[in-house]
Structures are given as C-alpha cells and as structure tokens.
Amino acid sequence: MRLLPAVVAVFLAVGVAYYVYVPMPDGIKEPWKLMLADAGFRTIMQVTSLKNRLGLDYYINPLLPYAEGFVGMVSRLLSSESGGGAVPGVKVSDVTFAGIPVRVYEPPAGGEGHLRRGVMYFHGGGWAFGSAKMGMHDVITRMISDELNAVVVSVDYRLYPEVLFPVPYLECLAAAKHFLTREVLAKYAIDPERVAVSGDSAGGNLAAAVAQEISTDDDASVKFSVQALIYPVLQALDFNTPSYLQNKDVPVLYRPLMVRLWLQYLGIDLSLMPQFLANNHSSLEQSLITPELRSRVDWTSLLPPKHRKNYEPLVVEKGLRGLVKERPGLLDVRAAPLLAGPEVLAKCPRAYVITCEYDVLKDDGLMYTRRLQDAGVAVTNDHYEDGFHGCLGFITWPMDFDVGRRAVRGYLNWLHNNL
C-alpha cells in the first residue's frame, strides 16, 4: 500500500506533462515557458467554454480564478489585476464613457508639459475573453501612461456569448467618440493633436476598424493621429494563408481556435468549422465576394516572397453557397478591416503594426501594412522573427520572454516618437 501514493504521483506527473507539452518551432526561445502559459490559456478557455455551454455561472465562476491561477502561480499575467505596484505613480479610475465601462489611467503629476498624450486601448481575447483589468493588459496600459505621460483609456466592451458582432465594435466606437470630444480631452488635459488608438489581437481588429470609421467621419472634429496595432486579426476569408498553415499548431493561438473565435463573433454555426478551414466559405461560387474584394486579401501579391515561402493559394470552386449573404459580417469592414477600400485606407492615420513569425495572424498584419502603404499611409512594421502570438503580454517575471520585452520597448518607443 505504501507504493500507492508514489504510483499516483507518477501518473499525475505524466498526465500533467502530457497536458502541458506541445511541440515548438526551433525559433521560439524558452519553449517550456510558452508551453506552461499555453496550458494556462487552454485551461481558462475550457473552463469558460464549460460555463457558456452549461450556463452554470454560479458553479463555474468561482473556478475561473483557479484556472487563471494555473499561470498566475508563476506570473501575474492572468490575474484579475496587476496591482498598483507595477507602476506606482499611475492613477487608475473605473468609469463609463457613453455608458461603456472603461478604465482610465492618468500619469503621475509633472512630465513634459501641461497637455498630455491620449491613448485609447482595446484589449485582445478573441472577442470572448479578457478585460481591461486583466493583468497582461493592465501592465501594458500602466506602462504606456507612465512612460509616455499619457492618459490611457482601456475599454471593457462586452464579450461572447453575451453579445456578437457588431456590438463590441459599436461599443468601442461609442467610447472612442466620447473620448475624442473636446470636453473630455480638456477634462484630462490631453492634446487633441496627440491621440492614438491601439489594441492587440482582437483589440487590434477593433482599433483598425474604429480608426477607419473615425478617419472618414466628416463630423468628427478630433481624430486619431496614429494607430498602433499589435498582431491584429483583420480578415476571415482566407484561413489558408502561409502563416495560418505554417503556425497552425503553434501556441497560443492555434488555427482551429482562431476560426472558432471568428465563427462565435459572427454568429455562425460552429459545426461549419471544417468548411471554413477548407476555405469553402469563400469559394468562387460566392458572387458577393467580387474580384476586387478578393484582391484585398490576395497574399500572393500583398506578401513579400520571404513570407509567401513555398505555399500555394487555396481557391475553392464550389462550396457553402449563399453563406456570405446569410452572414454579411464576413464582408463587413467593421469586422474585417483588411477589406476596406483604398479610398478609406488613404484617410487613415499613420500606423504601427507588430507582427510575429510564429503567429497565424502574421499575414493579416503584413497584408494590412502593404495595403496602407499602397494607399499612401506612412506605416512602420516591426516584425519579430522569434515572436509568437501574445508575446507582448509576457514581460513579468518569471514568465517574461526577451522577445516580449523587446516588442514592448519597440511599441513604446514608436509611440514616444510618433505621438
């Protein structure tokens, strides 16, 4: 009987190792750290999915802090809040803008003058997870406020399954319009000529879409002067771009997961995932997807050769007839900013786009960079050869990655020099 505890311990250790282990590309440094973080993300998604599917909020909600604690035991990244100790001088207030919950970060007194920079930030999480208060987002927004002497407004838009597209976009747009009023800017002593919009992943999607809308709104007296997009998700017509195929099994954003998040956001039956993975949803049979629209996501012409590699485009002749008509969000630029016309892109503010080599969304960001440049917009693209999706959130010990620290520094430096 004395052997039983040892046997149980061995089986538990093997089970945990099996759950945590994921094959990694050679270019990712410190792979075991990323495996552990990925296991934490998967745990959170599984617990949240169970809550959504069974509707057992009363029983499941108390478990979420423990799921987040899977990573939180070694990092504050996924804790509910990073805490004021991260950047001690920043004042944090939870208020509402146009009825939308936001978290406002105000820098310490002093700095570079009376008028300060302003930054509106949209957090990532696939339109289904995360919040402005989540540690990995809270740390970044505190750093922006402190280092740039900026007032940062991080928006807590509602998430799936409570709401679907276009609600998150509309809430972000409403908060942005409120922020850009001269009264609010004056209240926070923000220079109207120095206001940025930014976001990561799904937040980058929302930032790009809101930037497009504000830039073309003739009634907006104050507009964003720059946009900073961190590995943004920008289109749902082609899930067989080189980066989607190259990184289909790379943590933390697997190809099937990204497709699932899109289907959830757009209210499409999840049973259609295999059809989307095969690009049947964007077949040539879909008459609403015109040649002009297809050219806006044509990676064979928009990507440089080094990123096209040896991949071939997957163009399907027939499949899922009528789906685009039933789910117009697939072609709606508010959901897919990469589909915007050149006349819209030409009015957008100068841009900063971060892309990572080991990220399914790499090509989305690179194609948007190219399309903005073709429209005459000044764009800086920082591409991290050892980067992976979400790496900017991994900057606190002991889950800190060198690429995360470098990416955050590059992001802050660009904002400092361009905002």
Q: Would you state the structure tokens that stand for residue 90, as one six-digit string?
A: 């920043």
Local confidence band at 73 (pLDDT 50, 70, 90 cut-offs): very low
Four-CA torsion 70, 399, 156, 378, nearest 10 degrees: -150
- Contacts of residue 290, Cβ cutoff 8 Å, sequence gap at least 6: none
Q: Residue 69: what pLDDT?
A: 39
Q: Is 279 left (phi over 0), alpha (psi -120 to 50) or beta?
A: left
Q: Residue 341: what pLDDT?
A: 98
The percentage of the chain sitting over the pLDDT mark of 70, rounded to a whole number, equals: 84
Q: Which residue has the tokens 């978290």?
A: 103
> Where do the domains of the chain lie, and which CATH numbers do they carry?
89-419 (3.40.50.1820)
DSSP summary character for residue 320: S
Four-CA torsion 8, 9, 14, 16, nearest 10 degrees: 110
pLDDT above 60 for 1: no
Per-residue model confidence as pLDDT tens digits over 346-399: 999 999 999 999 999 999 999 999 999 999 999 999 999 999 999 999 998 778
Per-residue model confidence as pLDDT tens digits over 244-257: 999 999 999 999 99
Q: Residue 396: what pLDDT?
A: 84
Q: DSSP 3-state assignment of 152?
A: strand
Spacing of C-alpha 261 from chain mean position: 12
Long-range contacts of 89-94 (CB under 8 A, 24+ apart): 89/146, 90/142, 90/145, 90/146, 92/142
pLDDT above 50 for 240: yes
What number is the average pLDDT over the span 326-344?
97
The answer to whether residues 31 and 386 touch, using CB atoms and an 8 Å cutoff, is: no
- The catalytic residue positions are 201, 359, 389
Give CA angle at 183 (177, 187), nearest 5°.
Answer: 110
Rounded to 10°, the helix 31-54/3-20 angle is 90
Phi, psi of 192 (to 5 degrees): -60, -20
Enumerate the β-bridge partners of residue 100: 97
pTM exceeding the 0.95 threshold for the entire prediction: no
Q: Residue 62: what pLDDT?
A: 44
pLDDT above 90 for 169: yes
pLDDT above 90 for 41: no
Count of helices and strands (H, E) across the chain: 18, 8
Phi, psi of 345 (to 5 degrees): -60, -35
Q: Beta-strand (E) ranges in 63-128?
A: 91-97, 100-106, 116-122
DSSP summary character for residue 107: P
